Amino acid sequence: MKEKSSFAYQKTVRDFYSSLKPSPIPRKIKFSATEACTEFCALDARAFDVVKGDGFKNLAKTLFGVGRGTNTSSIEITDLLPHLTTISTNITRLYEEYKIQLIDICEQLTSFCLIVDQWTEAHTGISYCGIALQYVGEYSQLFTFIIGCFPYNAASHSAQHLREFVNKILEEYKLQLDSTKFVVTDNEPKMLPAFREQCSRVGCVDHYLNKQLQHAFQSDQIHLNKNTIEKVDCELVQNSFNQVKKVVSSVRHSHQQQQFSQKFQTYSETRFGDTIIMLDIFREVFFELPEVLINRKTLNDYNLIEKELLDDICNYLEPFQEILDAVSEDQQPSLHRVIPLRQYLMNKCEVKEDDSAAIIRLEVFLACRIKNAWHITDHHRLSTILHPKLKNFDCCIDEKEKSINVLKQEFEKHKLIDSSSCTNTLHLTQSNVQSSSPASNQAHIKKSMIFSC
């Protein structure tokens, strides 16, 4: 009987080598896991999507492995889980380990791109500077690392002090900016001079589009410079937007969201593009609102909203959402897509016969801003003309000639560099030949030829 019991619990080859075919999970076990995740979110007040995170998955996998590997029949989970102070201590240790690994990576980089942002928290007044690193690996993979979000403690918010602050952090990671390194920033006046020299600055398309949408829905006028003011003239669209915003805010504060088929979403001033999602959700639940709204003021705001105009606004903004999603891609380089996407938006801003007066004003304003304020650089042109599918510029023929000229200029630069390099190599070769013995002349000549190829 003892032998039979021992054989029943004997490990098999499947305990050591996983099968290529995943084993089906019994329904009872799946249900228990679902119940546990639901209770975890409810009891600890955690977001539902926390179970999608890599950290949570790694924790669950580790605990599962510990359970399978232990010989005891039961484990007291509190004995297994670490104390809060232990986690806190290990966070610092883990950060230092990963920082050393990142510095080792940075030391080997010959080309990279930084993403730099600087802002002040409205409630605390504390300023921060965020820096991220991107580079393309050996197999054309795009790697992204967040270097950090640092309290900004420079003497002032001037462009000079901002650049010095960034350079000091980069020194710690063995990184240095020069004309061959790229920096992506927003298009605020402070950022332009801060990264004008010793780097190649590229304006952030995501920030640009968010800013133009914010002007269209919130601004009466734009100060282009000290002496020039541009009128926005999108009053009808702005009125509708303000009414929607009031209703959404009221519903969110009154805890009535569970009564709707979709959850209302607001937006951040720094991510104004999220208003597209807010308006689209509001349109979907528009006819559900009268049965739920109990506040008379909120109901009056709702009655002032024209459903037809709301539909027109949402339909018009769909391409903008597509572009924002495309330029926010963090898995693949997207610089080559800027020119085609810009032209795509300009085409969508063309006035159509059946457009309402409110939409026409919105189209005219955004078309003007895209054309005059969204600047295309030589870096955009080079990345587009070198792309095999975009090099013909079928989508925007106006940029083709400019891009060809930029490419020619780059070829000329590299010709000069190669010519100078070959001249230096030739002088070095001649010097070595003259100073070497006759027996080793032939070997030196062959070696020099190999290195100059």
**Could you tell me the two tokens for 15?**
């305990």
Which has the minimum average pLDDT: 4-8, 45-49, 172-176?
4-8
Residue 175: pLDDT above 90?
yes
DSSP states of 326-376: HHT--SS--GGGHHHHHHHHHHHTS--TT--HHHHHHHHHHHHHHHHHS--
| β-bridge mates for residue 137, sequence order | none
Sheet holding 142-151, edge to edge: 142-151, 127-136, 113-120, 182-185, 200-203
Once rounded to an integer, what is the mean pLDDT over residues 388-398? 84
Confidence category of residue 437, pLDDT binned at 50, 70, 90:
very low
pLDDT tens column, 96-120: 999 999 999 999 999 999 999 999 8
Nearest to 287 by CA among 324, 265, 253, 261: 261
Strand partners, 221: 231
- The residues, any chain, with a CB within 8 Å of residue 195's CB and separated by 6 or more, are 116, 163, 183, 185, 201
Q: Hey, what domains does the chain have and what are their CATH numbers?
A: 27-81 (1.10.10.1070), 98-203 (3.30.420), 212-332 (no CATH)
Would the pLDDT of 21 be above 70?
A: no
More confident residue, 337 or 18: 337
pLDDT, average across residues 41-56: 92
Please give the average per-residue pLDDT across 260-278, as a whole number.
85
Q: Rounding to the nearest 10 degrees, give the CA dihedral for residues 436, 440, 446, 447.
A: -70
- The answer to which of 19-28, 270-279, 370-379 has the lowest mean pLDDT is 19-28
Mean pLDDT of the chain: 84
Percent of the chain scoring above 70 in pLDDT: 87
Q: What is the pLDDT of residue 16?
A: 57
Q: How far apart are CA 447 and CA 453, in angstroms?
A: 10
pLDDT tens-digit readout, 340-380: 999 999 999 999 988 999 999 999 999 999 988 888 889 99
Strands (E), 59-126: 113-120
Q: pLDDT higher for 9 or 78?
A: 78
Task: Report the pLDDT value the prediction gives residue 217, as an integer from 0 to 100.
Answer: 93
When pLDDT is averaged across residues 425-452 and rounded to a whole number, the result is 42
For position 223, what pLDDT does the model report?
83
CA distances from 232 to 207, 223, 269, 316, 451 (A): 19, 11, 18, 17, 62
What pLDDT is stored for residue 422 in this prediction?
58
At 332 the pLDDT is 77
Give pLDDT, residue 439: 46
Mean pLDDT calculated for residue range 409-430: 65
Query: Pick the residue with more confidence: 435 or 448?
Result: 435
When pLDDT is cut at 50, 70 and 90, the band that residue 267 belongs to is: confident
Residue 284 CB coordination number (10 Å): 13
**pLDDT value, residue 13:** 57
Q: What is the mean pLDDT of residues 383-411?
A: 87
pTM for the model: 0.73
Residue 263 and residue 101: Cα distance in Å, rounded? 41
Position 284 pLDDT exceeds 60: yes
pLDDT digits (tens, 9 = 90+) for 176-217: 999 889 999 998 888 999 999 999 999 888 888 999 999 999
pLDDT at 262 (0 to 100):
86
Q: What are the φ and ψ backbone dihedral angles of 185, each rounded to 5 degrees?
A: -135, 170
pLDDT of residue 130: 95
Per-residue pLDDT at 444: 40
pLDDT at 252: 87
Asked whether the predicted pLDDT for residue 59 surpasses 70, the reply is yes
pLDDT band at residue 12, thresholds of 50, 70 and 90?
low
Residue of 431 and 231 predicted with greater confidence: 231
- Residue range 262-290: average pLDDT? 88
